[in-house]
Structure 1
Amino acid sequence: MNRQFMKRLLDRSSYPAGFWAITSCVICSLFFLLFQGGKLAAMLFFIVLILAIYLLLGNWSGVKRTRGVRKLAGAAQQSAELQAGHSLKVTIEVQIPGVWPIAYMVIRDQLIRQNGEESVFEGTFVPDWKRKGEVLYSTPPLRRGLYRFGYTECSTEDIFGFFQHKGRIELREQFVVYPQTAAIREWTQFHQMMKGLQHNSASTRAHRETTQINGVREYIYGDRLSRIHWGATAKTGTWKSKEFERESLPKTILLLDRSSRAYRNAEEFELAVSVTASLFRYASSRNLALGLVSVGKEAVYMEPQQSHNHYRQVMSHLVSAEADGFHSLSSIIKDRARQLPAGCFFVLVSPQNGSSILQLLHEIERLQMNPCHMWIHPSGAPSGASDWLKQVRSHGYAAEEIRQLDELPNVLGGAKRYA
């Protein structure tokens, strides 16, 4: 038993290099006192001994028992939606127990994304007389996803840098970064499609408006004079039209292409997700029944609904959606054909084009649905947009090119607005 204790005591790997340096200084000063003697040797020994005791007692400085609180500023603190592309301000307030003097404190905070990506943020503060302090830092613009905070490490060193004292604070929290969205004022082509401008058979499935006013919306070129809301127009200075309640709201299905082979890079897929989220945001604000088909490693189908809870479920799914699918779009449509309601407006959000997409649009029309292709074609992609759009529209299908998310409201707005 004694041999094991002595072996552990003499094991150099269990002690830092600073410990052996201080021990060597104390032993040397002791030998100098014993063999040389005198006031100088005694003074040197006592000074080295006092410094050694001070440095060794720093291990009980209270750093290992540090307590703290993390505060998230802005949207995350108010439980609001934090969208992709925004940074997050984080404040960590620290309380160090004990009375042993500490010159400074280093805080390292760990942020982990859902895919395992780690980011470490570091800050330094000098404790006040109450042994309190805080560190403030801002994250870079965050990507869409689910985030959690890992460990929060506290560390400090003595004045000579011999020993480093560390502690950890358990401040594990989670927050969600939702897809970036654009505020769509009006989806003109959607309403035109339901009124039968694209398909003659759509008029039988179009929803009719009642005489009950449901609110006020932006003026759309072509609105009748009797539809203009003169009171709201006079107050705002811009043309406003009356919004009437509808007898039946049209159902819409949105298919998000999650094929890994369809996207050239991650930014292209993020644009597709943001377009999808923006359309659902518009549908939620207008009480439109919008459903989702999203097939990747896991298949997700959400029936068209109008509730706010449905909107939250869709957004929660889009937070973690990745381009990890391997099924073709045609196979997805065939598998879901029985679930898709006839007469609905079917929107395809995909960067793919060519004969396979035209055949897919024909198949959607054969299932008695009105197809529309939201073509994700970001800036810097190969040209040929006008040729593809003309080809799709020549077959009587709606098609729009989305190059940037900021352009989405103008693309869907259709005709020029007048104020």
Structure 2
Amino acid sequence: MNRPFSKRYGERPRFPAALWVLVSCVVGCLFFLLFQGGKLASMLFIIVTLLSVYLLLGNWSGVKRTQGVRRLTNVGQEANLEAGQCLQIDIGVQIPGFWPIPYMMIKDQLIRQNGDAGETAVFEGSLVPDWRRRGELHYSTPPLRRGLYRFGETECMTEDIFGFFQHKGRLELQQQVTVYPQTVQIREWSQFHQMLKGMQHHSTTTRAHRETTQINGVREYIYGDRLSRIHWNATAKTGTWKSKEFERESLPKTIILLDRTSRSYRDAAEFELAVSVAASLFKYASGRDLALGLLSIGKEATYMEPKQSQNHHKQIMNHLVGVEADGYHQLNQILKDRSRQLPAGCFFVLISPQRGVAMLQALHYLKNLQMNPCHIWIHGATTDAFKLQPAEPASIQENWIKQIRAQGFMGYEVTQLTELPNLLGGAKRYA
């Protein structure tokens, strides 16, 4: 084990070719002065010597000890943004020393960590330091894809006025950026709330479902609260009006299955559409206090039980940041393996581009488990010629949503994310 160590320290340092050229010029001028003499040889030797000293002293220009800071101007302290947005970046540098520097080149790296092999984007720019040897570089990235990003090494480089030598320095400005899936604002899911109303629930909005007699805490008094709701002990202690907060009746739980089977999707854009639909539904559930869970089966299996907390919603969104279409299990096999974990009587949403016999079998299997299945069919713009298995009849290839609606299942066809609010709100026909 000591051989590579001794060999590394036994190697001679390599000098750049420009240094040998410079040494050759100085030695040639010296010989010219010694053997030829005269004013021409003296002036030539003095000029070459001064230029050589200037070029060599550039090695101590301070670039190797450059200090810097990176600022993300269009995001908050948590460095979070949605897919499709650009990142505005400012890099400020401070160069120690006093040797003049005409300009500085900065090379920054942004690494996407999703998948087995990360993708690296390199951004380059130049700046001219001011008289206090400070400078700032501003650049923006192209629209970013969903994923977890980190910044790599930042390289600083400058040259002398002749371009003979390059002087480089490196900055370790470690920083992470989270790009969440793109979402849309869903105002109302009318068919979902109609289903709740048909299941003996008291209103079509989740915020209006009836309260129990179990006290959950204390809240601020709201004008119009009944006298029986006032919490007299808390009011006496704080000196301000307080009201009792009661627990609400639990609504049916909802499970969202995100199909991550690699062979189901035509391209990455279609899978991104599926992830964005799932993220939009979770965002809607978070704003309506709905208990939603996630079933995501790829190389690694993830199941999150339906809950109604903001922390639960954040965990699901963080999971959706890094998901990939890397699964190989069939839907029927996934449902059979997880059937014991699924709550009875729940509302089950399948987000998948699959259709045909296999999907019908999955929907009927969920119905036999006393669940209410719903298929959100991801049908991207590039999937018009979606290939089905040869055993499937041609009739299944047309009007898929109408077919499953005719059998009593809820279904929606989503080709673009922007049309999801109209589909769920009932403004656009889904069958």
Q: Take 1:85 and 1:396, find their aligned partners in 2: how far apart are those partners?
A: 37
Q: Take 2:401 and 2:254, find their aligned partners in 1: how far apart are those partners?
A: 22
SS in 2 for 1:123: strand
Quick one: which amino acid aligns to residue 399 of structure 1?
G
The 5 A counterparts of 1:43-192 are: 43-75=43-75, 77-79=76-78, 81-115=80-114, 116-192=118-194
Match of 1:239 in 2: none
Question: How far does residue 212 in structure 1 lie from its aligned partner after superposition?
Answer: 11
1:402 to 410, 414, 424: 414
Q: 1:190-234 CA distances to partner (integer Å, 9 max, x unpaired)?
A: 1122223xxxxxx2xx4324999859xxxxxxxxxxxxxxxxxxx
Q: Is the 8 A contact 1:210 1:246 kept in 2?
A: no
Question: How far does residue 250 in structure 1 lie from its aligned partner after superposition?
Answer: 2.0
Question: How far does residue 380 in structure 1 lie from its aligned partner after superposition?
Answer: 3.4
Quick one: which amino acid aligns to residue 96 of structure 2?
P
Q: Take 1:61 and 1:248, find their aligned partners in 2: how far apart are those partners?
A: 69
Quick one: which amino acid aligns to residue 388 of structure 1?
W
Point out the more displaced range, 19-28 or 347-356.
Answer: 19-28
Point out the more displaced range, 157-166 or 382-391.
Answer: 382-391
State the Cα RMSD in Å: 2.3
Match of 2:240 in 1: none
Match of 2:201 in 1: 207
Q: Is the 8 A contact 1:210 1:247 kept in 2?
A: no
Quick one: which amino acid aligns to residue 368 of structure 1?
Q
Match of 2:237 in 1: none
Quick one: which amino acid aligns to residue 17 of structure 1?
A
Q: 1:212 to 1:327 in 2, by over 3 A?
A: closer
1:255 to 241, 254, 257: 257
Q: Is the 8 A contact 2:183 2:276 kept in 1?
A: yes
1:329 to 328, 331, 337: 331
Q: 1:118-144 CA distances to partner (integer Å, 9 max, x unpaired)?
A: 011001000000000011110111000
Quick one: which amino acid aligns to residue 37 of structure 2?
G
List runs of 5+ in structure 1 lacking aligned partners: 197-202, 216-244
Match of 1:38 in 2: 38
Q: Take 1:211 and 1:54, find their aligned partners in 2: how far apart are those partners?
A: 77
Q: Is the 8 A contact 2:91 2:137 kept in 1?
A: yes
Q: Take 1:398 and 1:382, find their aligned partners in 2: how far apart are those partners?
A: 22
Question: How far does residue 78 in structure 1 lie from its aligned partner after superposition?
Answer: 4.0
SS in 2 for 1:130: coil
Percent identity between matched residues is 66
Taking structure 2 as the reference length, what is the TM-score of the superposition? 0.82
Q: Take 2:204 and 2:145, find their aligned partners in 1: how far apart are those partners?
A: 43
Q: 1:21-71 CA distances to partner (integer Å, 9 max, x unpaired)?
A: 111110111011001111221111011001001100100100000000000
1:302 to 290, 298, 304: 304
Is 1:25 equivalent to 2:25 in the alignment?
yes
SS in 1 for 2:299: coil
Taking structure 1 as the reference length, what is the TM-score of the superposition? 0.85
Q: Is the 8 A contact 1:188 1:413 kept in 2?
A: yes
Match of 1:235 in 2: none
Match of 1:320 in 2: 322
SS in 1 for 2:152: strand
Match of 2:231 in 1: none
Match of 2:213 in 1: none
Question: How far does residue 178 in structure 1 lie from its aligned partner after superposition?
Answer: 0.3
